[in-house]
Amino acid sequence: MATTLKQLQIQKQKLAPRQLLQARLLQLNTVNLEQTILKELEQNPVLEQIETDTHTEDEKVETPINEIDVSPEDMYSDETTYYFQQEKKEMPLPDRHTLLEDVIEQLRDTDLDDIEQEIAEEILWNTNERGYLDTELILIADRLEMDEEDLEPILHVVQRLKPKGFASRNLEECLMIQLEDEVGSMAYKIVNKYFDDFMHKRYDKIQSKLKCDEDILHEAVAHITHLNPRPGEGYTDKFQTVIPDVIVKDEGNNWVITTNDAGLPELRINREYEQSIQNEHYNLKAKKFIKEKLDSAHWFIEAVKQRRVTMVNVMHSIIGFQPEWFSGEMNFLRPLKLQDVADQIHMDISTISRSTRGKFVDTPYGIFELKYFFTDGIELNDGQILGTFVIKQALKKIINTEDKHQPLSDDALVGKLRDEGYGLARRTVAKYRDQLGFPVARLRKEI
């Protein structure tokens, strides 16, 4: 029997330290960014804080929406110092860790090396709010100049962090991961072999194929329905104080966008260290140490500046995509996906994800999380494509104003929405009602 020898050459590209640092700072909210800056000041002697006792109006630099390319790295706003100076007098602000950040923290306890952990982070930042992988794995591989099969083992590790099934590509994979410790069980067999029948509730077919009695089948189905179909949902953030990361103000015909970082330490390179690199009395080891710290300091300052630029560019794009909402029509949002913003400002979708998750914007209408402005689109029966946000708002209004003694059934809600011009299937209306937190009609009835 002939033996075939095959040599494979795999190129694994380590993410550039500068890019990696920019990505990590971008994913931080304002509170955690401040803590990271203070920590960096302690660890890097080359960095120092610029002491500023007073602020003048001349120091205030804002960015109108139509002049976004003019010195965006210098965007500050004095008036937002309130959030830091006033709030901190009351009590120290806690860390604001999101579920995604908690999952990333778990990577440290895996067997992945540094390069693989960086790739795992990139995978995680391409998940959506439900915890599913939003981008095809091959596209992530292409961006990293790798093969898709090289990412599969890393994805396998990520999907088994807590919550289990996070970063799954579909519901079937999510449920299978949660059941993989129960190989051979009835629940495992149903999801593994008869998932389509299960989803369409064809229980008679499943029972016939598996040749099991009804009680065992019902027990297995009940077990499956108690698994977590949306690993990214159902987790509340461990913070109460909301600090806006971006501020948007209406000034006449312009929207002025500023990052809320006036209270953060302003950094610069210590001149003595910068000049000491030329000192002939220092040995090579000392010069190497100083150069590494100088490079690290330059990258850190650059990453903080780049974070401001990215946050403002993303906010600028959101305003452009949602003109009605920012004009005061708060019940209307156009369909908008992260990819739309990524394409417009020529950035990676994972960068947009980092910019919007756990970030808040202070607008004339209140403080909103950036993800609020992203909504799916749906094609109505007449071919019109509308944002699900608008339909949900209409549905919410109908249910809130219904006769609670005779609440509307889902079929009746379909009719009401059709009267308002929204032709939807009953199952779609039931799904939106459930997402809005409203129970079925019989449970909404009041005596």
Q: Taking a C-beta distance cutoff of 8 angstroms, is the pair 124, 158 a contact?
A: yes
Q: Is 297 helix (H, G, I), strand (E, B) or coil?
A: helix
Q: Taking a C-beta distance cutoff of 8 angstroms, is the pair 341, 228 a contact?
A: no
pLDDT at 13: 47
Give the CA angle between residues 18, 52, 271 to the nearest 5°. 50
Parts of the chain belonging to CATH 1.10.10.60: 377-444
Alpha-carbon distance of 115 to 134, in angstroms, equals 22
List C-alpha distances in Å: 155 to 112, 233, 264, 353, 400.
11, 20, 36, 18, 43
Alpha-carbon distance of 24 to 96, in angstroms, equals 15
| Residue 406, phi-psi category: left (phi > 0), alpha (psi -120 to 50), beta (remainder) | beta
| Residue 167, phi-psi category: left (phi > 0), alpha (psi -120 to 50), beta (remainder) | left
Alpha-carbon distance of 140 to 150, in angstroms, equals 11
**Mean pLDDT, each 10-residue run in order, the chain (447 residues):** 46 60 85 89 89 50 44 36 40 56 89 90 85 85 84 95 93 95 94 91 91 91 91 58 87 88 86 72 76 89 93 95 92 90 91 88 92 85 79 92 91 91 87 86 82
**Which residue has tokens 């209306």?**
429
Q: Is 394 helix (H, G, I), strand (E, B) or coil?
A: helix
C-beta neighbour count of 35 within 10 angstroms: 12
Alpha-carbon distance of 410 to 420, in angstroms, equals 15
CATH of 377-444, one of 3.40.1260.10, 1.10.10.60, 3.40.630.10, 3.40.225.10: 1.10.10.60
